[in-house]
Each structure stands twice: as C-alpha cells, then as structure tokens.
C-alpha cells in the first residue's frame, strides 16, 4: 500500500517554549476511496526540531502494515538527514557529528529509525508557508497543539 504522510512541527520561543506537531496521512483503499487521518500533540517545553521529528514518528507509528511511504516535510533538518545521508554518518560514528560533537535528539532519531523499519520511506521537502494545503494543515495542527491545554512533558528537556 502507498501512503502519503505530511508533517510539521512548531515551537513557541524555541528552544525553551511550548511546541507541537501535526501529521496528516492520506491513503487509498482497494476500492480507490481516499482516507485521511490527522494527529497532533503538544509539549510544555521543547524545540522545533524535536517536534518535526515527532510529527514523522507519529505518522509512521500509526501505520499498521508495511507500506511505501512518501513523507513530506518543510524541515530540512529531517529531510536532509536522509536525503543527504547524514544519518549514515551519524550511525557509523556512534551518533557523533563532524568535529566529534554529539548528534542532538538521538532519542527521537532512534525512535524514527525503528518506526521506519517495516516501510520503504522517501523523504520529500516542501517549502513551508507556501500554500501547500497539507503542509498548511499540519502547521495549523502543530501550532494549535503548541497553544493548547494539557501539554505533555518532553522527557529529554523537562
């Protein structure tokens, strides 16, 4: 099955403010009917990059069987990690970047890699705030979650 996942993350007062993620999933069933699912969540204190990663994680973890996935994001941080193969270097170096600096958000990168395992995922960059309907919807979900009540603790940052 082919699935399109659209994602966005947001943080108010990045890096120490509230943040949220938004994810929209589109897929067609065997009769050709389009289905759409939306996910969002907010955190008390987080970063934009962590929310970008969470949006992708939530989308992939929502899939119940192996899929071919086109994952759309306006985050170069997320998309370039795979398309520029940064992740391969980080893994080879034991989660170190150039200059032997530790990779940030290792907990979420590991969770994302695990969520990707049963799927074939292609990362596609879209320009943010440029009128792309699904990206705009994800932005709305992410910012609404960041501004909402019942925010969760980001265990790494709290």
Which parts are annotated binding residues for Mg(2+)? 8, 52, 74, 139
Which residue is catalytic, options 9, 19, 20, 59?
9
Q: Which residues are documented as binding site?
A: 8, 52, 74, 139
Return the exposure string of 49-63: e unless at least 16 CB atoms fall within 10 Å of the residue's CB, then b: bbbbbbbbbbbbeeb
9: annotated active-site residue: yes
93, 97, 101, 103: CA torsion to nearest 10: -90
Which residue is catalytic, options 19, 20, 22, 52?
52
Which residue is catalytic, options 16, 35, 129, 153?
129
Which residue is catalytic, options 20, 74, 134, 154?
74
Q: Are 80 and 86 in contact (CB under 8 A)?
A: yes
139: annotated active-site residue: yes
35: annotated active-site residue: no
136: annotated active-site residue: no
Residues acting as catalytic residues: 8-9, 52, 74, 129, 139
């Amino acid at each position: 099955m082919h699935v399109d996942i659209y994602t966005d993350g947001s943080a108010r007062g990045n890096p120490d403010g509230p943040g949220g993620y938004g994810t929209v999933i589109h897929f067609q069933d065997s009769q050709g009917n389009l289905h759409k699912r939306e996910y969002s969540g907010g955190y008390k204190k987080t970063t934009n990059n962590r929310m970008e990663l969470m949006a992708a994680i939530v989308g992939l973890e929502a899939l119940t069987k192996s899929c071919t996935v086109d994952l759309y994001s306006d985050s170069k941080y997320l998309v370039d990690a795979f398309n520029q193969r940064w992740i391969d270097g980080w893994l080879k170096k034991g989660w170190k970047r150039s200059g032997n600096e530790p990779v940030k958000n290792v907990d979420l990168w590991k969770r994302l890699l695990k969520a990707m395992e049963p799927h074939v995922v292609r990362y596609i960059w879209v320009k943010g705030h440029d009128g792309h309907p699904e990206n705009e919807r994800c932005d709305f979900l992410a910012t609404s979650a960041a501004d909402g009540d019942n925010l969760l603790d980001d265990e790494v940052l709290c």
